[in-house]
Copies of this chain bind each other. A is one copy, B any other.
Amino acid sequence: MTTYKLLLLPGDGIGTEIMAEVKTVIDWFGKRGVASFESEQDLAGGAAYDAHGKAISEATMKLAQESDAVIFGAVGGPKWDSVPYDVRPEAALLRLRKDLELFANLRPAICYPALADASSLKRELVEGLDILIVRELTGGVYFGSPKEIVTLENGEKRAVDTQLYTTSEIERIARVAFDLAKTRSSRVASAEKRNVMKSGVLWNQVVTKVGKEEYADVALEHVLADNCAMQLVRRPKQYDVIVCDNLFGDILSDVAAMLTGSLGMLPSAALGAPDATTGRRKSMYEPVHGSAPDIAGKGISNPIAMIASFAMALRYSFGLVAEADLLDRAISSVLSQGLRTGDIYTEGTTKVGTKEMGAAILKQL
């Protein structure tokens, strides 16, 4: 039986509460005997800053490097709004993505039928929605240099960020998108701003080439990123897989997630390249939602996105597809039974807290 090493980083805010619930789920799968999981837990984000003045310590980074999957809660909160840029809570996330080379960010936007009415869009536009956004996660304006603020001779400041992409960076994320599309409806939309950005021109060329030469059976469409954002609002079901760069992916995936009405439900995966010899890939899983400092500590947060993130880990890091399906089904069942945390509560359903929701999913398993 394979043993997988997990690093649990609850982070800040509701991170701790939702991590407690996913832990019971991890234990359950461990006892089931399909694989064994060795978990360590550590600090990240504001919690790490409070403890040792950095968003993530070198020791924690070492654990992350040695793990098969990092299970990440959420970071940040008003408490750390004015800490220096380099040690702000989000720096933990960015460092993990970069140092583990997690270049492929998978962000599903699924509308759970039981929650379609929670969407701000008309029901018929989102019912059955199932989009997968594939976001490049280790390049672009997030990491290009120069990235600095300098003081000019006239006393003014000038801030610079650098959007940068190379052929191979675009090729590898395009392949991830095309491969995933083949397991779905074989359609990819590639979003960029080729009419304004040179990186958009190169993005467009490389995705076109990879599509033509390696995935002739997948339909490829190009869409300008601003138009893509519009189309997501207008008629989201026209999309299946959307591939885009780091910054556009940040925004488009948030729009797509919000459309579903299921924000508290949506997981995400960040994957590295498979190792040449072992075939294993580094990975990190986290909910799409944030640390929600306003409701932290009250025991009312929704643990489903966190638990669904572990389902993605089962699927993408451990190859346990049947187990992933089992867990996803347990989540759907609990929703069908009418259980709801406050964020997704509507009249006629049963309001439960974080722990009860976690327990209900466990019981369903």
**Chain A residues in the interface with B (C-beta under 8 A):** 76, 85, 88, 90, 94, 120-122, 125, 141-142, 144, 147-149, 152, 156-168, 193, 195-199, 201-203, 225-227, 229-230, 233-235, 247-248, 250-251, 254-255, 257-259, 263
Copies in the complex: 2
Name which residue of chain B comes closest to A222, CB basis: B81
Q: Which of the residues B90, B159, B163 comes within 8 Å of A195, measured between beta carbons?
A: B90
Q: Which of B162, B168, B198, B227 has a CB less than 8 Å from the CB of A149?
A: B198
Which residue in B88, B121, B160, B255 is a CB contact (below 8 Å) of A163? B160
Partner of A258, one of B120, B142, B233: B233
Q: How far is the CA of A195 from the CA of B90 in the complex (A)?
A: 7
A258 to B259, CA, bound (A): 13
Of all chain B residues, the one with the shortest Cβ separation from A155 is B167
Q: A157-B166, A193-B250 are in contact. List 17 more A-B contacts (CB 8 A).
A: A90-B196, A120-B121, A120-B125, A121-B121, A121-B122, A149-B201, A152-B166, A158-B164, A159-B198, A159-B199, A159-B203, A161-B162, A161-B198, A162-B163, A229-B254, A233-B255, A251-B251
A234 adjacent to B255 (CB under 8 Å) = no
- A85 in contact with B251 given A160-B164, A233-B258 (CB within 8 Å): no
Would you call B160 and A162 a contact (CB within 8 A)? yes
Contacts of A90 in B (CB 8 A): 195-196
Q: Across the interface, which residues of B come within 8 angstroms of A257, CB to CB?
A: 230
B141 touches A168 (CB 8 A): no
Determine whether the beta carbon of B159 is less than 8 Å from that of A201: yes
Contact assessment for B229 and A251 in the assembled complex, using a CB-CB cutoff below 8 Å: yes
Judge whether B163 and A163 touch: CB under 8 Å: yes
Enumerate chain B residues within 8 angstroms of A202, measured Cβ to Cβ.
149, 157-159
Q: How far is the CB of A243 from chain B (nearest CB, A)?
A: 16
Assembly CA distance A330 to B90 (angstroms): 50
Q: Do B234 and A254 touch (CB < 8 A)?
A: no
Tell me if A226 and B254 are in contact (CB < 8 A).
Answer: yes
**Residue numbers in B under 8 Å from A225 (CB-CB):** 251
Distance between Cα atoms of A201 and B84 in the complex (Å): 11
A235: B residues at CB distance < 8 A: 120
Q: In chain B, what residue has the closest Cβ to A156? A: B167
Residues of B within 8 A of A152 (CB): 166
Chain B's closest residue to A119 (CB) is B122
- B168 engages A159 (CB within 8 Å): no
> Across chains A and B, which 10 residue pairs bring their CB atoms closest together, nearest first?
A159-B202, A156-B167, A159-B199, A161-B163, A230-B258, A226-B254, A90-B195, A159-B198, A233-B258, A161-B197
Out of B120, B125, B165, B255, name the residue touching A229 (CB < 8 Å): B255
